[in-house]
Amino acid sequence: MSKQNKRRNTRQNRQNSGPRKNTDGIAPPSPKAFSEKPKGPPWLFGRHAVIAALENPKRNCHRLLVTQDFLKSHGNELKAALHATDRKRPQAEVLDRRDIEDMLQGAVHQGIALQADPLARENLDDVIKDSAENTLIVALDQATDPQNIGAVLRSAAGFGACAVLIPDKNAPEVTGAMAKAACGALERIAFIRVTNLSRALEDLKENGFWSVGLDGYADQLISKIDLKGKTVLVMGNEGAGLRRLTKEKCDFLARIPISQAVESLNLSNATAVALYEIARQRIE
């Protein structure tokens, strides 16, 4: 075959391999494999993270990849998410699971991935302005693991918190792994970066919030503190815990009752236990 004919055939194959539009918003399978590194806006992956992002009118979405198996199991859920907002949504491209893995450099994607712009940064002043009698906020002091932070976001949303605060310095960027661990919580509660956590706690205190810091060496159990009303639950990192200045800004320090067999709990687990206690007190 001549080089000219080979180029012509290659061009025709590329044109024929492109996804064709379908009335249900889902393109037929594409034979094209992807081995290049992801380009453009970041990718979200995992069923809950992607569905929640598609449903969020604040999300600007660019590209949607799914597998046939995902469509068989969750096709109706995906169609509903694609029509949940007036924002334009990309047509779903049906690819092989391994092709999506190549796009995401090996991430566990559950058969679905979405390329979308990051959400606009939230402002603490807006949260304070909209706060009500029992507003609950979680503050993380120097947490650095994206999946741990994602799990905290999930628990915070599950127990009714309206926001999670984190110091901007040394904090990880929002990644697909964080969004997957958050299971859609990134789309439902504010994730706020603050320049100075101590100053943020002061601002919250001036607006009627009580701050409770979790400390494994505290004298009193968290169950002994009145956790009703405007509350900030302050959590330290798994290594050093709360910093000295952060402790000084807390109105109370408390611990959760755990066995002496372990020194401490994982950050996300400890946060979930503390949030449960707050929720328990508020429904009694």
**pLDDT value at position 230?**
97
Give the pLDDT mean for 26-34: 49
Report the mean per-residue pLDDT for the chain.
87
Q: SS3 breakdown of the chain: % helix, strand, coil, rounded to 5?
A: 40, 20, 45
3-state secondary structure of 160: coil
Amino acid identity, position 151: A
Instruction: Report the distance separating Cα 61 and Cα 119, nearest Å.
Output: 11
Amino acid identity, position 63: R
Say if 19-116 and 124-283 have the same CATH topology.
no
Confidence category of residue 7, pLDDT binned at 50, 70, 90: very low
Give the pLDDT mean for 66-84: 96
If phi over 0 gives left and psi between -120 and 50 gives alpha, with beta otherwise, what is residue 252?
A: beta
If phi over 0 gives left and psi between -120 and 50 gives alpha, with beta otherwise, what is residue 234?
A: beta
Q: What CATH number does the domain located at 124-283 have? A: 3.40.1280.10
Find the length of the chain. 284
Closest by Cα among 197, 217, 210 to 278: 210
Instruction: Report the distance separating Cα 184 and Cα 86, nearest Å.
Output: 19
Phi, psi of 83 (to 5 degrees): -110, 15
The residues, any chain, with a CB within 8 Å of residue 210's CB and separated by 6 or more, are 229, 230, 231, 232, 251, 252
**pLDDT value at position 197?**
96
The domain segmentation of the chain, as residue ranges, is 19-116, 124-283
**pLDDT value at position 264?**
76
Closest by Cα among 105, 41, 87, 84 to 184: 84
Taking only the tens place, the pLDDT of each residue in 130-170 is: 999 999 999 999 898 999 999 999 999 999 999 999 999 88
**pLDDT value at position 69?**
96
**pLDDT value at position 171?**
87
Q: What CATH number does the domain located at 19-116 have? A: 3.30.1330.30
Give the pLDDT mean for 78-91: 95
